Amino acid sequence: MKIAISSDGSNLNAKVGDKFGTSQYLVIVDLESGEFEAVPNPGASGQRGAGMQAVVLAISKDIKTVLTGYCSPAAYNHLKANGIEVLTDLSGTVGEMVEKYKKGELEAEMRAGTGPKSRGIKVDKSALVQATGSSARQFIALLPMLLGVVLLIGLFNAFVSKQFLASIFSGNVALDTLWGACFGSILSGSPINSYVIGGELLKYGISLFAVTAFIITWVTVGLVQMPAEIAALGRRFALLRNGLSFILAIPIAIITVLILNLIGS
Amino acid sequence: MILFPAAMVVIYGVLFVVMPDKTSLALKSSGNIFLNMLMPLGLVFVLMIFLNLLLKPTQIARFLGKGAGIKGILLPAAAGIVSTGPIYVWYPLLKDLREKGAGNSPIGIFLYNRAVKPFLLPVMIAYFGWEYVVILTALTVLGSIALGYSLSNLMEGDNSL
């Protein structure tokens, strides 16, 4: 059975790290063999999603228990969902915590209410509150960009003439669809923005072929995220996936509109 | 992320001084667009809570490594559809799954199906009508299978990753 302890250093004398997601190392101890390894915490840089990277590491190393100073509610829930126990509010050296854990003292202290309490447990009591909270955060994160897009469309409506757009989108189905796919590939973000922009473009007389290709490539092709995709999944994969997604967007857009026309909408 | 909306506010501020009439028109137009979106946005929020209550990213990601044949298509497609949040949150999970042996096809299918977002459908329907949404959604899922198949064939024999 393996346990992971967030740590400031790479040995058993190092102090237990304050935060699971961003501590320098995760020291992984095999309780049966007594062997340990210190793995640099992928979330140590503290970027967004740091906690998630540490969670992924814990899952991939088949950890049964995590010992740490503090674990964010989101990381706590992901760990629990994957059957990993989390003990928090710990301080001292890694070695001391391992010994206490082996003797069952940490869990005994938690049960007696005299020792460390998992801050995550409070959150776990109300999954609905947790879900509402994370939904609110996701929703609020969407709003500034959406508001910006709506303001931009307002400017567009007031200042840009239909003649200008007509000069870009000629009315040629193949060419317009290609243009739509190109614009969608360059721009990115939540799909909701592509719906709003696409809906307004329709009012300008841009064909549904072009708007559909735009909506599809908005999500499926990501020139902006390409460096991140290359880093995670390799250059060949990223280039092929984005290239194929771009090509695929054109027939999907054309067939969608043709079917729609056939059923008479 | 805040840069773009902030830039918009600055542009509006400048334009109000230079061309107040046209800029009022632009602001009115934006206000109307936003008002029309309120109802669908409310639904979006409710659906978000529902999905967050039921699913966790790590549970979703586990679908990707499982199943062969038809399951190897449907599970990553379903995972892509129900996944939420920005794509960069998912890259570390996908990388990890790839290292654990998940194929190129399920990862490609997953990424393509992120275009189908059930919680955003109310907004899409408000703009384009439900028939359009149904057709586009079905074709996106079918397209993802074609993408997964092509990707898997084209990547075959590549050991440079």
Residue range A20-45, pLDDT digits in tens: 888 889 999 988 888 888 988 887 77
**What ipTM is given for this predicted complex?**
0.79
Alpha-carbon distances, residue B1 vs A117, A143, A145, B122 (angstroms): 37, 10, 7, 24
Distance from CA of B144 to the nearest CA of A (A): 9
pLDDT at A140: 84
Mean pLDDT across chain B, nearest whole number? 83
Give the least confident one: A77-91, A145-159, B89-103.
B89-103
Half-sphere exposure at residue A185, Cβ-oriented, CA atoms within 13 angstroms: 22
Half-sphere exposure at residue A6, Cβ-oriented, CA atoms within 13 angstroms: 27
pLDDT, average across residues B148-154: 92
Confidence of residue A213 (pLDDT cuts 50, 70, 90): very high
DSSP A70: B
A contact test, residue of B121, B140, B144 with most A CBs within 10 A? B140
Mean pLDDT across chain A, nearest whole number? 83
Instruction: Tell me the C-alpha distance between A178 and A193, whole Å.
Output: 20
Output A123 or A169, whichever has higher pLDDT: A169
Which of A226, A262, A222, A265 is CA-nearest to residue A245? A222
pLDDT at A118: 43
pLDDT at B135: 96
* Tokens (6 digits) for B57: 């990213």
CB contact under 8 A, A131 and B7: no
Angle made by CA atoms A15, A21, A25, in degrees to the nearest 5: 40
pLDDT at A64: 87
Give the least confident one: A10-14, A80-84, B53-57, B98-102.
B53-57
pLDDT at A208: 95
Q: Which residues of A touch B99 (CB under 8 A)?
A: 60
* Tokens (6 digits) for B69: 């044949």
Output B38 or A29, whichever has higher pLDDT: A29
CB contact under 8 A, A260 and B143: no
Half-sphere exposure at residue A155, Cβ-oriented, CA atoms within 13 angstroms: 18
Element (H, E) at B104: helix B104-113
The reported pTM is 0.62
Distance from CA of B68 to the nearest CA of A (A): 21
Q: Which residues of A65-97 are buried (b: 16+ CB within 10 A; e: fewer)?
A: bbbbbbbbbbbbbbbbbbebebbbebeebbbeb
CB contact under 8 A, B146 and A192: no
Chain-centroid distance, C-alpha A90: 28
pLDDT, average across residues B64-71: 66
Chain-centroid distance, C-alpha B48: 13
Q: Is the pLDDT of residue A193 over 80?
A: yes
Q: Which residue of B has its CA nearest to A139?
A: B45
Nearest to A191 among B33, B92, B115 (CB): B115
Which of A248, A139, A253, A186 is CA-nearest to residue B123? A139
Instruction: Tell me the C-alpha distance between A253 and B136, whole Å.
Output: 8
Nearest to A255 among B58, B87, B139 (CB): B139
What pairs with residue A15 in β-bridges?
A93
Confidence of residue B86 (pLDDT cuts 50, 70, 90): low
Instruction: Tell me the C-alpha distance between A27 and A101, whole Å.
Output: 14
Q: Which residue of B has its CA nearest to A211?
A: B128
Q: What percent of chain B has pLDDT over 90?
A: 39
Greatest Cα-to-Cα distance within chain B, rounded to the nearest angstrom: 63
Output A154 or B61, whichever has higher pLDDT: A154
Nearest to A237 among B25, B53, B104 (CB): B104
Q: Give me the residues of A, 32-51, that contact B with CB < 8 A.
A: 42, 48-49
What tens digit of pLDDT does each residue of B116-129 get?
988 888 999 999 99
pLDDT at A27: 92
Q: Is the pLDDT of residue A258 over 90?
A: yes
Q: What backbone torsions phi and psi does residue A85 show, to the nearest 5 degrees?
A: -80, 145
Nearest to B92 among A52, A136, A147 (CB): A52
